[in-house]
Amino acid sequence: MTAPSPSTDTATVLSPTVRAAFWMAGAILSFLTMAVAGRVLAAELDTFEIMTLRSLTGVIIICIVATATASWHRITMHRFGLQVLRNVAHFTGQNLWFYAITLIPLAQVFALEFTAPLWVLVLSPLFLGERMSKRRALAGLTGFAGILLIARPGFQEITPGLIAAALCAIGFAGTIISTKSLTRDVPTICILFWLTVLQAIFGLVCGGYDMDFALPSPALWPAALLVGFAGLFAHYCVTSALSIAPASVVSPMDFLRLPAAAVVGLLIYGEALDPFVLVGAAIIFAANYANIRGERRA
């Protein structure tokens, strides 16, 4: 067998699943950065105000990118109804997520948020026409077992933070499914443009309904900009991953955010590493790894 020449493009050598994994690694780093910056902003702002600042930052970035790359012609209102539904789902889930990270440990938030890929595994065959193989079903069930071990429902008090973290997963599942559908015939920059614009509109309406929209103090503006940059780049990474691999493959990759969040919580906030979190994370990683290997063979 002839080895690939040095000039062979890397994208033609790596499988779609591996390339999607690289994009999801960037998404994981961005989401963790956004969580830390969001906690900083929560000292002065509510979740709607945080979301608005994040989205307005994103609007500026997208406009700069579209101008620099001469991509304005790719931003259209094609499938605009689905764009709106996608952003309603995401806006709801993201606000619940920002609320949860201020109340409970990061590892708990991500553990409960990770029921979203399980919803995607179940709903993808219905809404995207993706095949539910035995391997994917087993990966989803194994990952769910790891999440139950981490969350341990019934052994701890059900708090508003836990409820918010659990509910945000439903919104994120809707975001993933609608994004995968959009990537079939809508350019990534168009998806990101309407993401930032619609989220900014939703945030201004919800944050300013009481006519008291707060801005961060000068010391917190770097955190506000960081939330915007990290949030937009995270969505770019996820959208890129979904454009080259099935949603039921991309979503379980996000499980790796859990052990990463546990480490961040320990190092920055002194949140203890619960042994159940470590064991549950190992189970989730094993399920994720087995699913990825199976997709590569297929």
In a domain, 193, yes or no: yes
In a domain, 2, yes or no: no
Residue 134: both structure tokens together: 């035995």
Which pLDDT belongs to residue 20?
A: 87
Instruction: Specify the number of domains making up the chain.
Output: 1
What's the rounded mean pLDDT across residues 169-179? 86
Whole-angstrom Cα distance, residue 263 to residue 260?
5
- Encode pLDDT of 49-60 as tens digits: 888 888 888 899
Which pLDDT belongs to residue 248?
A: 66
- pLDDT band per the 50, 70, 90 thresholds, residue 287: confident
DSSP the chain: -PPPPTTS-HHHHS-HHHHHHHHHHHHHHHHHHHHHHHHHHTTT--HHHHHHHHHHHHHHHHHHHHHHTT-GGG---TTHHHHHHHHHHHHHHHHHHHHHHTTS-HHHHHHHHTTHHHHHHHHHHHHT-----HHHHHHHHHHHHHHHHHH-TTSS---HHHHHHHHHHHHHHHHHHHHHHHTTTS-HHHHHHHHHHHHHHHHHHHHSTTS------GGGHHHHHHHHHHHHHHHHHHHHHHHHS-HHHHHHHGGGHHHHHHHHHHHHH-----HHHHHHHHHHHHHHHHHHHHHHH-
- Encode pLDDT of 113-153 as tens digits: 777 767 777 777 777 777 777 877 887 788 778 777 777 76
In a domain, 5, yes or no: no
Residue 22: both structure tokens together: 């690289």
Average pLDDT over all residues of the chain: 82
- pLDDT band per the 50, 70, 90 thresholds, residue 176: confident
In a domain, 269, yes or no: yes
Which pLDDT belongs to residue 8?
A: 47
- pLDDT band per the 50, 70, 90 thresholds, residue 163: confident
- Encode pLDDT of 241-263 as tens digits: 878 887 667 767 777 787 788 88
In a domain, 8, yes or no: no
Range of the domain at 172: 18-211+219-297
Residue 255 near residue 285, CB atoms below 8 Å: yes
In a domain, 161, yes or no: yes
In a domain, 125, yes or no: yes
Residue 144: both structure tokens together: 């769910």
Residue 1 pLDDT exceeds 50: no
Residue 2 pLDDT exceeds 70: no
In a domain, 196, yes or no: yes
